[in-house]
Structure 1
């Protein structure tokens, strides 16, 4: 069914609660594991219905943040989602404590039960008022960012549409775009600081209510970290500082020379060639059509997936002035349908959507065929391997989008992917500092960010821009507001994706088979086990980062 034809009906909490209570009653009355698993399938069905309606409302709200009907629906779900989560936790506890757990564990897997354990550590119904407040604050931030109205020579742009001018080949245009972007954030600086301060204090209070010293431990549980901890992440960041930061700085200097500049400034941060970055040819519709051709040729599995997406119009990628910023893949369980949301803006990022977000969507399409719903509950570092690796696996088809500048795009993509890792680690370390010190003032948070920039991106020069010089860049990173502790997942995944890049250059078919296996494994095993099973090195192990850097340096200097 086409997305626009999918019917929507508001989820009434009282009706869900009534149906839920009946499922609980039947589960308790079941005489053996087989009977309980049959009841569990009813829980799947209820959950699918609830998630599908909420997701439809969420997408339609994001498509037009000024739509009054779906704005009210978003506000409503901000209120009831914590209550729905309480039902989920209640059911999970019952599943976890079942006298027939051995049978159930055999059916849905050990990972599912570990996740239930983590979920129980991350939620209590007494948190509902705080979670409702948190949801409202996140929505307030998202709407503020989406509300940007930037005058550009008489045309009104939002932040997503401004991005193409940040990569313009004319340096003066880029500087003007930076000034416009900085102006928006400076104008809203006090509000941005207030929202984040309230979020930090809210999340800290939630953690304390659960008996934790601060939000870090609760944040890890909320991110469903089921096989690694803070110390392992710290060791990973340590390796990045030691090996990847110097490597990334070499890449930035290589880019500086290519641009013919004496020094790089922030206005040059996203530009790779004097003639400008390669941009995709054709209209958004033509980009989607070429994406379909690409996935039809890549594999039988990807052909089936993309044809399904195209036939059912499961893309909304055109940038519009009232559309939510950013991009994502989400899933509509009743229709076994992934959905890709993005903001095309005429840059190479438009093609990245067709590779990155479709990497997520492809895995979602595969896992949707698995009758065990828990296998779809992938942790984010695994999910991002699917997307970031797909960016590399689709490189043989980049000529469809970039023509004579295909090689420029491929070179730019590899450099950009490698240089991202220090930034991602910086975001992660910043969040650890903030949540371990929740009483920091807004000024102290900005100072902490500024210090980290010197450690992770020493080449960075804001040319005296007041807002960014004071350490304000993090306020444009929506993950810091919306999804605390998410960002390190991108770094861990990029580390694995770069391993796939090396492998596919050696033996593309073998590398693809490994990737397909990883997608199919989904969440049937833990991240640290799965990556070893498909032949990847763990990012947490000493030597992993150094080995990748050594191989990439040889590749880039060949």
Structure 2
């Protein structure tokens, strides 16, 4: 079914609560594991329908954040989603503590039960008002960004539409674009600081109410970190600093020389060639058609997926002035349909949507008929492995998108994938410090960011921009506001993707078969087990990044 044909109806929350209560009672009174399993399948149907309506409302709100009807629906879901999370946890407690648990574990798996334990630690009725307030604060932040109006040579642009000018081949254009772009953040810095300060304090209060010293244990539970914890991530961050930052700095210097610069200024961070970054050729419609051709040639599985997506209009990718910034893949359970939201802006990131977000969507499509919904409930480091690895698997088809500049794009994408890992890891350490020290002032937080930049990106030069020089660049990253503790998952996944890059350069078919197996495994096993099962090294094991760097440097001859 096409997306515009999908009907939206706001659920009657009281009826939904009653249905959950009935299921919970029946589960409690069940006399066998088989009876509980049958009831649980009714839960799937109910939850799928409610979540489908929530996702439709989210998408239609995000494509136009000034739409009054869906703005009201968004407010409804901001209040309702925490309630639904809580009643879902209350229901799942019957499975978690069932005397028939061994039977149920055979049906839905041990990973599912570990995730239920984490869910039980993630929400409680006493923190629902705080969760609702958190949603409203995030909305306030997103609306502030979505309604940005930047005067660019007489045309009013939003933040997403400024991207081509921020990375222009003309240094003077870049300089002026960054001046206007950062001016928006500087002019709104007080509001941005205030929102983040409230978010940190809100999340800290939630953590305390759940019995923790701060937000971090609650945040880890909400991220479903079901087989690694803070010590593992701290060790990974040390690997990045010791083994990967020196490699990334070499890549920055190679680019500096390629650009003919004596120093790499922050305005040059996103530029890779003197004649400008490669941009996709053709209209958005032609880019989507190129994606269809690519996936039809890559494999039978990707062909079926992309034809389904295109035939059912499951993309909204045109950049519009009142559209939410950023991009994502989401899923509509009732229709077994992935959906991709993005903001095309004429830059290479348009093609990245067809690789990265389609990597997410492809995996969701592969397991769309899985009866056990918990197997579809993948953790984020696994989800991002699907997407970031797909960026490399699609590399042989980049000529469809970039024509004669396909190699330039491939080189740029490889370098960008590598230098991202220190930045993404820095975002994670910044968030850990912020939540370990919720009393930090805005100035203190800027100081933390400034110090971390010296560790993770020592080449950075913000001269001429006092706002960023003072440590405020972190305000550009919406994940810090919207998705606490998420960003490190990209770095773990990036390590996996680079392993696939090394592998596919030697044996593409074997690497692809491994990737397809990983997609099909979904969340049937824990992350570390799945990664080793498909032939990759666990990123948390000391030496993993060192080995990746060694192989990449050998290939590059540096």
- Which TM-score bucket, shorter chain as reference? over 0.9
For residue 317 of structure 1, give the secondary structure of its aligned residue in structure 2: strand
Match of 1:12 in 2: 12
Match of 1:31 in 2: 31
CA contact 2:330–2:338 (8 Å) conserved in 1 = yes
For residue 272 of structure 2, give the secondary structure of its aligned residue in structure 1: coil
TM alignment of 1:419-438, pairs within 5 A: 419-438=419-438
Match of 1:410 in 2: 410
Match of 1:452 in 2: 452
TM alignment of 1:262-411, pairs within 5 A: 262-411=262-411
What CA distance in whole angstroms lies between the structure 1 residues aligned with 2:406 and 2:346? 16
CA contact 1:148–1:184 (8 Å) conserved in 2 = yes
- Where do 4+ consecutive residues of structure 1 move more than 4 Å? none
Match of 2:248 in 1: 248
Quote how far apart the aligned CAs of 1:29 are.
2.9
Quote how far apart the aligned CAs of 1:554 are.
1.5
Match of 1:177 in 2: 177
Match of 1:70 in 2: 70
Match of 2:43 in 1: 43
Match of 1:204 in 2: 204
Quote how far apart the aligned CAs of 1:92 are.
1.1
Using the TM superposition, name which of 69-78 and 467-476 deviates more. 467-476
Quote how far apart the aligned CAs of 1:49 are.
0.5
TM alignment of 1:103-122, pairs within 5 A: 103-122=103-122
Quote how far apart the aligned CAs of 1:464 are.
2.5
1:81 aligns with 2:78: no
Using the TM superposition, name which of 18-27 and 400-409 deviates more. 18-27
How many residues align? The count is 558
Quote how far apart the aligned CAs of 1:466 are.
2.0
Task: Tell me the TM-score normalized by structure 1.
Answer: 0.99
Match of 1:235 in 2: 235
CA contact 2:431–2:480 (8 Å) conserved in 1 = yes
Quote how far apart the aligned CAs of 1:557 are.
2.3
CA contact 2:20–2:88 (8 Å) conserved in 1 = no
Quote how far apart the aligned CAs of 1:26 are.
2.3
What CA distance in whole angstroms lies between the structure 2 residues aligned with 1:464 and 1:100? 66
Quote how far apart the aligned CAs of 1:549 are.
0.6
What CA distance in whole angstroms lies between the structure 2 residues aligned with 1:419 and 1:156? 32
What CA distance in whole angstroms lies between the structure 1 residues aligned with 2:65 and 2:226? 35
What CA distance in whole angstroms lies between the structure 2 residues aligned with 1:463 and 1:352? 31
Quote how far apart the aligned CAs of 1:119 are.
1.0
Cα deviation 1:499-523 (Å, max 9, x = unaligned): 0000000000000000000000000
CA RMSD of aligned residues (A): 0.8
CA contact 1:11–1:54 (8 Å) conserved in 2 = no
The runs of 5 or more residues in structure 1 that have no matched partner are: none
For residue 220 of structure 1, give the secondary structure of its aligned residue in structure 2: helix
The runs of 5 or more residues in structure 2 that have no matched partner are: none
What CA distance in whole angstroms lies between the structure 2 residues aligned with 1:369 and 1:296? 21
What CA distance in whole angstroms lies between the structure 2 residues aligned with 1:178 and 1:431? 25
CA contact 2:244–2:422 (8 Å) conserved in 1 = yes
Quote how far apart the aligned CAs of 1:273 are.
0.4
Cα deviation 1:143-170 (Å, max 9, x = unaligned): 1111110000111100000001111110
Cα deviation 1:174-197 (Å, max 9, x = unaligned): 111110111000110000000000
What CA distance in whole angstroms lies between the structure 1 residues aligned with 2:28 and 2:174? 63
Quote how far apart the aligned CAs of 1:57 are.
0.2
What CA distance in whole angstroms lies between the structure 2 residues aligned with 1:330 and 1:449? 31
Match of 1:165 in 2: 165
TM alignment of 1:503-518, pairs within 5 A: 503-518=503-518
